[in-house]
Structure 1
Amino acid sequence: MTVSEHIPSLTSEFVSTADGYRALREQAPLVQVKLPDVDTPMWLVTRYAHMKEILSDSRFVRDAAKLSDQEGPSVVDQMIEAYGLPPEFGDYHSILVLADGDEHLRMRRIITRAFTARRVNALRPTLERLTRELHRSLSAKGKAELLEEFCYPLACAAICELLGIVEVDQPQVRKQMMDAISGEPGRLVPAFTSMVERSKALIELRRENPQDDLISDLLRVAREEDRFDQKQIVAITMVLIDTGVGPAAHFLADMILALLDHPGQLARLREEPQLLHTRAVPELLRFTSSVPVGAPMYATEDLDFAGVRITRGEAVIPGILAANHDPHEYPDDALGLDLGRAPGTGVGHMAFGHGPHFCIGAALARMEAEIVIDRLFLQGDAPELAVHRDALQFAARPGDGVHLKALPVRFPTLD
């Protein structure tokens, strides 16, 4: 029997849902799985406590190059080759996403000098205005496809406003991200190339004409920091666009669908609107877990973890969806939605990861969710599904579960 015949693939129907991950979690804390187009089996962390522990364990690193004696391409290298992405993609990815230790801390420190709470909070009026305008426009039509016409424009605008990408260019950025997240090489590779070129052009523009935006701030930092130049700024720009547009848009769509699927919970939110700013958004992040798995990590030594023997060089991937639905952490109906659920320790979920690589855009994602829920569900009549629930279509993405292809709705009344 070959490896692929007895190790489950994360794109199979079996593990594309919370029920599938539950089946794996019930097997063991760590279960060997495969990603499509990747020959190397990996250990999937299935339980909350173990995932929290491993994400802070210095014996695991994201940069496979640190294992100089390791043979063959890393998991990320295999995926880059499978998709036909240029090697440059790996270079940008390694600067922040795959960095470890002191170098990662240095880059995080640089980014946080520019990606401040003040800058994020200053976006709220703009995002509230855009949400209001999009809602009015779509409700006036009486129907809409919320993923493409509402969620993507809003998520894209948030990142573009941060970076200083002007409004007239934002539709093209949005299209590029939709192409990139499609998983189709014929769309993904040109989208990546265009985003890199756009980032370089924006950097040159802000070098000549600084503004009050993130790129301008990073250029100011570059004049003061060693080993921080255009390549690092492009890498940061790419990470922010890659993680802040597609995943954010799909979370907003998943969140809206979750509320429509649970009318009792929606009624409770309307009766207790204070839940929006305390418990509702963390619970929706936990429940949807729109990014079901995290980046692979590699053991730097032979070790025992959660009763499993892991050898040096073996890859481990955090099962975010599995951990967020772990009944050991959430004993009261872990698979159910409860907007009044008391958050656990920390932020109460693993949707943003944990430890050194905790999502730097977490505050922005929470703010977007609050604005959307307030506008769509608390200030007027909620939208309704325009098709039967079973007619909604989903698409699988390699190693990333299944996601809505579209969210058609109708608006019962004008606002």
Structure 2
Amino acid sequence: MSLTEYIPKLNSEFVSTASAYRALREQAPLVRVTLPDVDTPMWLVTRYEDMKTILNDSRFVRDATKLSAQEGPSITDQMIAAYGLPPEFGDYNGILVLSDGEDHLRMRSVITRAFTARRVNALRPALERVTRKLHRTMSARGEAELLEDFCYPLASFAICELLGIGEVDQPQVRKEMMDAISGEPDRLVPAFKNMVERCRSLLELRRENPRDDLISELLRVGEEEDGFGEKQIIGIVLTLIDTGIGPAAHFLADAALALLDHPDQVRRLREEPELIGTRAVPELLRFTSSVPVGAPMYATKDLEFAGIQVSRGDAVIPGLLAANHDPRKYSDDALRLDVGREPGGGVGHMAFGHGPHYCIGSVLARIQAEVALDRLFLQGDDAQLAVHRDELEFVARPGDGMHLKSLPVRF
């Protein structure tokens, strides 16, 4: 038998099950695992404090090309090959997600100059308008599929409005993103190519007719920054669309399901509505952890971490869901939803990661959730599951665990 046959495989069902991490968390701070379609064993981090430390540890990098002695393709390269993505996907994806150190800091500073809190907060009235419209349509029918009819349209509207993609084009952008995350090569490859071409066309339009949107601002910043051209902007736009639609929509659905599963928590929110923004949304982010694992990192040298020997080139993946349910951080009720839970220091969870790669879109995600959950559970007609809880279907997403396939509700 090969070595990997003795190592737990983090299949899609496993990485989405909080209780399944318990044994691994107690086994050791770092545990050897493999991912589907990836031959290379890697270390999984499962404990909250270790996660905070390693995500700030400069001895680990995301850009595997910095390790000249590394043998074979990186984890990301293996996944790109396994899912039939064109090679240039890695070029665009690596613009921000797989950069490190000064390169990453420079790129992130460019984005934050465009992705400002002022710009994001100014979107709230439009989000409230769209949320009311979507909810009114669902309520009038008396039933809905929440992911398709509410979560995806709302998440798509939010990121597309910031970028400057008009409402008429948003359904097609949403469809392309659904194809891109399907894991089916005959859908995702053409979707990726279409998205790149759409970005190129939009950049050309904004060069000729700048507006008060994120793409126009990125173009303006690009004129001031050396080495920040069309390829970099397209990579950033694709990253924002990718992370701004799928994960955001599924968090809204996961949060809604969590509240439907816990009517006592809904009652508490109705009694204390001020909890939504201050405690409930952070708690739902922690509890659901809709992105269960983070991007792989690589050790730049032989080192010891949390008492475990790690060799140069070893891959390490952050178990965000595992850390968010660590009883060392959240006591013995880590698996319990508590919308009044005190977050503690910082944001109180790892749903957006930590350190240099902390999610740039975290403010937008929180605002969307506040607006959506307020409308669904406090302002509108009561939503209820339209099927038995056991009848809900889940679908595997490549390297990203199990996600709701649909969420049928009635009003």
Question: What TM-score, normalized to structure 2?
Answer: 0.98
Query: For structure 1, which segment, 310-319 or 33-42, has the greater mean C-alpha deviation from structure 2 after superposition?
Result: 33-42
Decide whether the 8 Å contact of 1:61 with 1:297 is kept in 2.
yes
Stretches of structure 1 lacking an aligned partner (at least 5 in a row): none
Decide whether the 8 Å contact of 1:11 with 1:397 is kept in 2.
no
Q: Is residue 381 of structure 1 aligned with residue 381 of structure 2?
A: yes
Q: Distance in 1 between matches of 2:339 and 2:395?
A: 27
Decide whether the 8 Å contact of 2:12 with 2:399 is kept in 1.
no
Letter in 2 for 1:141: R
In the TM superposition, residue 332 of structure 1 has moved relative to its aligned partner by 4.3
**Equivalent residue, structure 2, for 1:305:** 305
In the TM superposition, residue 253 of structure 1 has moved relative to its aligned partner by 0.2
**Equivalent residue, structure 2, for 1:209:** 209
Q: Distance in 2 between matches of 1:139 and 1:181?
A: 29
Letter in 2 for 1:95: I
Deviations 1:4-61 (A, max 9, x none): 4221221154443001112211211111111111110010000000000000000000
Deviations 1:62-120 (A, max 9, x none): 00000011111000001111111111111111111000000100001101111101110
Q: Is residue 258 of structure 1 aligned with residue 258 of structure 2?
A: yes
Q: Distance in 1 between matches of 2:251 and 2:12?
A: 21
Deviations 1:120-158 (A, max 9, x none): 011111110000000000110110000011100000000
Q: Distance in 2 between matches of 1:13 and 1:199?
A: 34
**Equivalent residue, structure 1, for 2:409:** 409
Q: Is residue 77 of structure 1 aligned with residue 66 of structure 2?
A: no
**Equivalent residue, structure 2, for 1:156:** 156
Pair 143,34 (structure 1): closer, same or farther in 2 beyond 3 Å: same
Q: Is residue 109 of structure 1 aligned with residue 109 of structure 2?
A: yes
What is the 5 A alignment of 1:253-292?
253-292=253-292
Q: Distance in 1 between matches of 2:232 and 2:124?
A: 28
In the TM superposition, residue 382 of structure 1 has moved relative to its aligned partner by 2.1
Letter in 1 for 2:26: E
Cα RMSD over matched residues? 1.0
**Equivalent residue, structure 1, for 2:35:** 35
Decide whether the 8 Å contact of 1:11 with 1:398 is kept in 2.
no
* Aligned-partner SS, 1:227: coil
* Aligned-partner SS, 1:349: coil
Q: Distance in 2 between matches of 1:211 and 1:182?
A: 33
**Equivalent residue, structure 2, for 1:190:** 190
Query: For structure 1, which segment, 15-24 or 316-325, has the greater mean C-alpha deviation from structure 2 after superposition?
Result: 15-24
**Equivalent residue, structure 2, for 1:234:** 234
In the TM superposition, residue 344 of structure 1 has moved relative to its aligned partner by 2.4
Decide whether the 8 Å contact of 1:162 with 1:213 is kept in 2.
yes
Letter in 2 for 1:202: L
Q: Distance in 1 between matches of 2:315 and 2:342?
A: 33
Deviations 1:315-347 (A, max 9, x none): 000000000000000004001100111102210
Letter in 2 for 1:160: C
Q: Distance in 2 between matches of 1:314 and 1:344?
A: 33
Q: Distance in 1 between matches of 2:264 and 2:337?
A: 10
Q: Distance in 1 between matches of 2:151 and 2:380?
A: 18
In the TM superposition, residue 172 of structure 1 has moved relative to its aligned partner by 0.3
Q: Distance in 2 between matches of 1:222 and 1:400?
A: 32
**Equivalent residue, structure 1, for 2:296:** 296
In the TM superposition, residue 305 of structure 1 has moved relative to its aligned partner by 0.7
Q: Distance in 2 between matches of 1:223 and 1:12?
A: 43
Letter in 2 for 1:247: P
Report the identity percentage. Answer: 76
**Equivalent residue, structure 2, for 1:395:** 395
Q: Distance in 2 between matches of 1:343 and 1:89?
A: 37
Q: Distance in 2 between matches of 1:359 and 1:164?
A: 21
**Equivalent residue, structure 2, for 1:6:** 6
**Equivalent residue, structure 1, for 2:87:** 87
**Equivalent residue, structure 1, for 2:60:** 60
Decide whether the 8 Å contact of 1:304 with 1:310 is kept in 2.
yes
* Aligned-partner SS, 1:53: helix
**Equivalent residue, structure 2, for 1:129:** 129
The number of residues matched between the two structures is 411
Deviations 1:295-320 (A, max 9, x none): 00000010111121100000000000
Stretches of structure 2 lacking an aligned partner (at least 5 in a row): none
**Equivalent residue, structure 2, for 1:343:** 343
Q: Distance in 2 between matches of 1:121 and 1:107?
A: 22
* Aligned-partner SS, 1:298: strand
Pair 238,15 (structure 1): closer, same or farther in 2 beyond 3 Å: closer
Pair 14,111 (structure 1): closer, same or farther in 2 beyond 3 Å: closer
* Aligned-partner SS, 1:10: coil
* Aligned-partner SS, 1:168: coil
**Equivalent residue, structure 1, for 2:26:** 26
Letter in 2 for 1:21: Y
Deviations 1:337-374 (A, max 9, x none): 00111102210000000000000000000000000111
Q: Distance in 2 between matches of 1:396 and 1:382?
A: 30
Q: Distance in 1 between matches of 2:332 and 2:80?
A: 41
Q: Distance in 2 between matches of 1:246 and 1:363?
A: 16
Question: What TM-score, normalized to structure 1?
Answer: 0.98
Letter in 1 for 2:83: Y
Q: Distance in 1 between matches of 2:13 and 2:167?
A: 39
Pair 54,240 (structure 1): closer, same or farther in 2 beyond 3 Å: same
Q: Distance in 2 between matches of 1:72 and 1:264?
A: 52
Q: Distance in 2 between matches of 1:67 and 1:59?
A: 12
Q: Distance in 2 between matches of 1:208 and 1:159?
A: 22
Decide whether the 8 Å contact of 2:151 with 2:252 is kept in 1.
yes
Q: Distance in 1 between matches of 2:13 and 2:380?
A: 37
What is the 5 A alignment of 1:311-390?
311-390=311-390
Q: Distance in 1 between matches of 2:66 and 2:204?
A: 33
In the TM superposition, residue 171 of structure 1 has moved relative to its aligned partner by 0.3
Decide whether the 8 Å contact of 1:296 with 1:315 is kept in 2.
yes
